[in-house]
Structure 1
Amino acid sequence: MASYFDNVDSTFGASVDGKTMPRWQRKALDSNSNTGRLQTPKKEAVDRFIPNRASMDIEAAHYKLTHSENVPSPSKEHYAKAIESTLMGEANSKILAFKQKAPQPSEGHKNDLRVLYTQNRGAQRVRKASRAIPQNPERILDAPEMRPDFYLNILDWSSQNQIAVALNNSVYIWDAASGNTFELCHTEQAGDYISSVSWAGDGAHLAVGTSDSLVQIYDVTSQRKVRTMTGHSGRVAAMDWNGHILSTGSASGLIMNSDVRVANHCVSALEGHSQEVCGLKWSPDGKLLASGGNDNLVNIWSANGELRHTLTDHQAAVKALAWCPWQSNLLASGGGTADRHIRFWNTSSGNCVNSIDTQSQVCSLLWSAEHHEIISGHGFSKNQLSIWKYPSLAQVTELTDHTERVLGMAMSPDGQTVASIAADETIRFWKCFAADASNKKQKVMPTSSRLGAMIR
Structure 2
Amino acid sequence: MDLMEKNVELVEVQKLEGHTDRVWSVAWNPVSSHADGTLPVLASCSGDSTVRIWEQSLLSRSWSCKAVLEETHTRTVRSCAWSPSGDLLATASFDGSTGIWKNSGSEFECVSTLEGHENEVKSVSWNASGTMLATCSRDKSVWIWDVLPENEFDCASVLSGHTQDVKMVQWHPTMDVLFSCGYDNTIKVWWSEDDDGDYQCVQTLGESNNGHSSTVWGISFNAAGDKMVTCSDDLTLKIWGADIVGMLSGEGYAPWTHLCTLSGYHNRTIYSAHWSRDDIIASGAGDDGIRLFVDSKHDSVDEPSYSLLLKKEKAHEMDVNSVQWSPGEENRFLASASDDGMVKIWRLAAKP
Structure 1 length as normaliser, TM-score? 0.53
Tell me by how many angstroms 1:180 deviates.
4.1
Tell me by how many angstroms 1:369 deviates.
4.5
Q: Confirm whether residue 355 of structure 1 aligns to residue 199 of structure 2.
A: no
CA change 1:450–1:373 in 2 (3 A) is: closer
Q: Matches of residues 359-378 of structure 1 in structure 2 within 5 Å?
A: 359-370=213-224, 372-378=226-232
Distance 1:229 1:254 in 2: 15
Amino acid at match of 1:427: I
CA change 1:319–1:433 in 2 (3 A) is: farther
Q: Confirm whether residue 384 of structure 1 aligns to residue 236 of structure 2.
A: yes
Q: Is the 8 A contact 2:123 2:168 kept in 1?
A: yes
Amino acid at match of 1:372: D
Distance 1:453 1:360 in 2: 25
Distance 1:366 1:290 in 2: 15
Q: Is the 8 A contact 1:182 1:453 kept in 2?
A: no
Distance 1:433 1:392 in 2: 24
Q: Matches of residues 4-403 of structure 1 in structure 2 within 5 Å?
A: 179-187=11-19, 189=20, 192-201=21-30, 202-203=32-33, 204-221=40-57, 222-230=62-70, 231-242=72-83, 243-262=86-105, 263=107, 265-304=109-148, 305-327=153-175, 329-336=176-183, 339-347=184-192, 348-357=197-206, 358=211, 359-370=213-224, 372-379=226-233, 382-390=234-242, 391-401=254-264, 402-403=266-267
Which structure is richer in relative contact order (CA contacts within 8 A, separation 6 or more)?
Answer: 2
Q: Is the 8 A contact 1:364 1:376 kept in 2?
A: yes
CA change 1:452–1:292 in 2 (3 A) is: closer
Distance 1:223 1:237 in 2: 22
Residue number in structure 2 paired with 1:406: 270
Q: Matches of residues 402-441 of structure 1 in structure 2 within 5 Å?
A: 402-414=266-278, 416-432=279-295
CA change 1:396–1:139 in 2 (3 A) is: farther
Tell me by how many angstroms 1:450 deviates.
4.1
Amino acid at match of 2:146: S
Q: Is the 8 A contact 1:418 1:432 kept in 2?
A: no
Tell me by how many angstroms 1:433 deviates.
8.4
CA change 1:313–1:220 in 2 (3 A) is: same
Distance 1:364 1:449 in 2: 19
Amino acid at match of 1:332: F
Query: Aligned-residue CA RMSD in angstroms?
Result: 2.9
**What is the SS of the residue equivalent to 1:424?**
coil
Distance 1:349 1:341 in 2: 21
Q: Is the 8 A contact 2:173 2:225 kept in 1?
A: no
CA change 1:453–1:240 in 2 (3 A) is: closer
Q: Counting strand residues as a fraction of each chain, which structure ranks higher?
A: 2
Tell me by how many angstroms 1:324 deviates.
1.7
Gaps of 5+ in 2: 34-39, 243-253, 300-308, 318-341, 343-352
CA change 1:277–1:350 in 2 (3 A) is: same
CA deviation vs aligned residue, 1:391-445 (integer Å, no higher than 9, x gap): 343321100022111101112132x111011112211111148699xxxxxxxxx
Q: Counting helix residues as a fraction of each chain, which structure ranks higher?
A: 1
Distance 2:235 2:311 in 1: 22
- Percent identity of the aligned residues? 26
CA deviation vs aligned residue, 1:242-273 (integer Å, no higher than 9, x gap): 12100001111110101022557111110021
CA change 1:331–1:453 in 2 (3 A) is: closer
CA change 1:140–1:272 in 2 (3 A) is: farther
Tell me by how many angstroms 1:343 deviates.
1.0
Q: Is the 8 A contact 2:293 2:310 kept in 1?
A: no
CA change 1:434–1:214 in 2 (3 A) is: farther
Q: Is the 8 A contact 1:317 1:335 kept in 2?
A: yes
Amino acid at match of 1:275: N
**What is the SS of the residue equivalent to 2:113?**
strand
CA deviation vs aligned residue, 1:156-188 (integer Å, no higher than 9, x gap): xxxxxxxxxxxxxxxxxxxx6xx342212233x
Gaps of 5+ in 1: 1-133, 142-175, 437-446
Structure 2 length as normaliser, TM-score? 0.68
Residue correspondences, number: 266
CA change 1:352–1:433 in 2 (3 A) is: farther
Distance 1:279 1:225 in 2: 23
| Higher Cα Rg, which structure | 1
CA change 1:193–1:343 in 2 (3 A) is: closer
Distance 2:182 2:159 in 1: 12
Distance 2:298 2:132 in 1: 29
Distance 1:140 1:361 in 2: 32
**What is the SS of the residue equivalent to 2:104?**
coil
Tell me by how many angstroms 1:139 deviates.
9.2
Tell me by how many angstroms 1:232 deviates.
0.6
Amino acid at match of 2:128: P
CA change 1:272–1:397 in 2 (3 A) is: same
**What is the SS of the residue equivalent to 1:340?**
coil
Distance 1:264 1:206 in 2: 14
